[in-house]
Amino acid sequence: MNEIKDKMVQRFMEYVSFDTQSIDDATCVPSSDGQFVFARYLEKRLKEMNLEDVCLDEKGYLYATLPSNSSRELPVIGFIAHMDTSPDMSGKDVKPRIVENYDGGDIVLDGEAGVVLTTSDFPEVKEYVGDDLIVTDGHTLLGADDKAGIAEIISAVEYLQAHPEIEHGKVRIAFNPDEEIGRGAHHFNVPLFGCDWAYTVDGSCEGELEFENFNAGSATFNIQGRNVHPGYAKGKMLNALRVATALVDAIPSQESPECTQGYEGFYHLMGINGGVDSATVSYIIRDHSKEIFETRMAFMKQVAAMMNERFGNGVVSLELKEQYRNMREMVEPKMYIVELAKEAMIQAGVEPKVKPIRGGTDGAQLSFMGLPCPNLFAGGINFHSRYEFVSVQVMEKAVKTIVKIIAGLVNMK
């Protein structure tokens, strides 16, 4: 596997140079031009690798095939990663560098600006002593989410091409836009992809294997106040911002992301915008339990009703949307696809860490579109931040895991 390490790192360094930041309020697909630029670049590279069925559609979804080299009828499986980076932090002019043989201390990202990846704030970095870490210059995110996944999938395919003695079935790969804004699966062509199942390569630390995620929804409270001159406001003014603060106080603060972990759900306050005359309060709602999630969604309706009873009928209106569901119910009937990944990790020298995703994944939506799709680790840590990093050695293990999954199909009962 050592022969692919340098190429894998080179690929990743090239990939993060593309600005593929998605735009949350965009109406086009993909949401940013940079994603299409990157998709065309990848399309060219996949064709140069002589992969079959290379197809880039008008929405920026890229598909390709590694043909089978086996005479047996084997399942067709796929590997998927997303091209966009988070809208929450710039992905432009990323300047990665490698900290070789990390010594366990603080990592200065930009000494002049005082940006330091400290072990006190990020103690998990000390787990990577001796590894080669790819970090940022402290002014952008890195983009390991999910360009590490793309680099790993392509490197695994290249390894199999170079080693025809490894028997394997047909393998499909796909790279999609706009995962970070929750739309990555919206235009994914599952029938065209033609797989029995797939894996997203979009997880974090070494060994992560996830097949369950939050049920997710959003709530936007629109508040209509009444503004008059403050000198003559008595009995007339209705300050929309005061209604907003009362609304926020009605939602349990202890059930927020900063107070929950594991399988615990939450209400996450995303924004308060507006002024005296009108305001909006936006939340996202998450829970692994379908029943508790539905209770949480219903509670938001109760909050709106409470505010209208207190401040006047029609003052608060609510937009409530379901975003995605827990893929566990779609994957659980086919748990052999999780067991295959666990065994592949063990063969690759990785300890499987089966855990729930405290978030969403394209795989959740794809699972409900008929493509069961657990999530594999890609290696990135501190996603969406200037402190993001990825271990080269963990990336190598991700490549090995992908190869072992593909090869393992031959012996699967």
Q: Catalytic positions, please?
A: 84, 179
Q: Helices 144-162 and 392-408, interaxial angle, to 10°?
A: 50
End-to-end alpha carbon distance in the chain: 27
Q: In what order do the strands lie in the sheet with 353-354?
A: 52-56, 62-66, 171-176, 77-82, 197-203, 375-377, 208-210, 353-354
- Token couple for 68: 């089978």
Can you say whether residue 356 is alpha, beta or left, with left for phi > 0 and alpha for psi between -120 and 50 degrees?
beta
Contacts of 11 (CB under 8 A, 6+ apart): 150, 151, 154, 155
Decide: helix, strand or coil at residue 188: coil
Can you say whether residue 312 is alpha, beta or left, with left for phi > 0 and alpha for psi between -120 and 50 degrees?
left
CB 286 within 8 A of CB 214: yes
Strands 208-210 and 353-354: parallel
